[in-house]
């Protein structure tokens, strides 16, 4: 690889890391009927909140926090499983196209 291509690859890698950091710090909220989920730009749930009286009357604050935490964990587990499934399917089709393990070489597949 010549110097100009190596330099270009380094620049690309630095830009990708910058975007990754920006995505980690980007928070998007979605609200439906008093239930709010906050997800970062990397598609990871950060928090889930709800009005106790509206959705689940009678919970104390400790129970509410435990339920919100469980919801976030369930969302993230579902997202991870979905990404793993998609990566597996993409690797299969890329293998059929003669591209082998390209997804892993380009950044470890989907995470």
Tell me the pLDDT tens digit for each residue of 14-32: 999 999 899 889 999 999 9
68 within domain boundaries: yes
Q: Count the domains in the chain.
A: 1
pLDDT digits over 31-46, tens only?
998 899 999 998 999 9
Domain that holds residue 64: 26-105
5 within domain boundaries: no
Task: Sheet containing 35-40: give its strands across.
Answer: 27-32, 35-40, 45-50
53 within domain boundaries: yes
Please answer whether residues 91 and 108 qualify as being in contact, where contact means their C-beta atoms are separated by less than 8 angstroms.
no
pTM exceeding 0.75: no
């Amino acid at each position: 690889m010549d110097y100009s291509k190596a330099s270009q690859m380094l620049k690309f890698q630095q830009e990708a890391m910058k975007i990754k950091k920006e995505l980690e710090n980007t928070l998007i909220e979605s609200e439906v009927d008093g239930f709010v989920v906050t997800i970062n730009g990397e598609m990871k749930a950060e928090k889930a909140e709800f009005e106790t009286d509206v959705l689940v009357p009678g919970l104390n604050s400790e129970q509410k926090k435990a339920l919100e935490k469980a919801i976030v964990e369930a969302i993230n587990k579902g997202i991870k499983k979905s990404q793993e499934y998609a990566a597996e399917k993409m690797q299969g089709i890329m293998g059929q196209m003669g591209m082998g393990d390209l997804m892993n070489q380009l950044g470890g597949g989907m995470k």
